[in-house]
């Protein structure tokens, strides 16, 4: 069950995700961490379930290295090729 307001946690085995952070009106809203089943994490701000602003991505497959990436209105501010190219430069 998704908390309606304040700090809380939501997880779904079916989706393979867990979110821990702030909620507003049953949506991820504010600072939080979104963790995937494989252990990879995104930490940053959410607005109405969408990532927004600068976020940190931590990879599990690449020994826990992390990069800073930017989202605007839920969309990554670069394409997938740019994301992986940047990730390789950062590690």
The region of weakest confidence among 5-14, 27-36, 53-62 is 53-62
Q: Is the pTM here over 0.75, yes or no?
A: no
Give the distance, in angstroms, between the CA of residue 34 and the centroid of all CA atoms in the same chain: 4
- Check residue 90 and give its pLDDT: 43
Q: How many residues in the chain? A: 91
- Check residue 51 and give its pLDDT: 83
For residue 52 the two structure tokens come to 């927004």
Residue 16 or residue 84, greater confidence: 16
Per-residue pLDDT, averaged over 21-50, amounts to 89
The hierarchical CATH code for the domain 5-90 is 2.20.110
pLDDT at 18 over 90: yes
Q: Per-domain residue ranges for the chain?
A: 5-90
Phi, psi of 78 (to 5 degrees): -165, 160
Residues 19-30 pLDDT 10s: 999 999 999 999
Query: How many Å apart are CA 30 and CA 37, to the nearest integer?
Result: 22
pLDDT at 72 over 50: yes
């Amino acid at each position: 069950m998704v908390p309606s307001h304040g700090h809380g946690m939501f997880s779904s085995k079916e989706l393979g995700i867990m979110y821990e952070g702030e909620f507003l009106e049953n949506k991820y809203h504010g600072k939080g961490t979104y963790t995937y089943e494989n252990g990879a994490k995104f930490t940053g701000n959410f607005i109405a379930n969408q990532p927004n602003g600068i976020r940190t991505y931590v990879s599990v497959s690449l020994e826990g290295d992390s990069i800073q990436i930017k989202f605007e209105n839920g969309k990554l501010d670069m394409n997938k090729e740019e994301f992986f190219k940047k990730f390789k430069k950062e590690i």
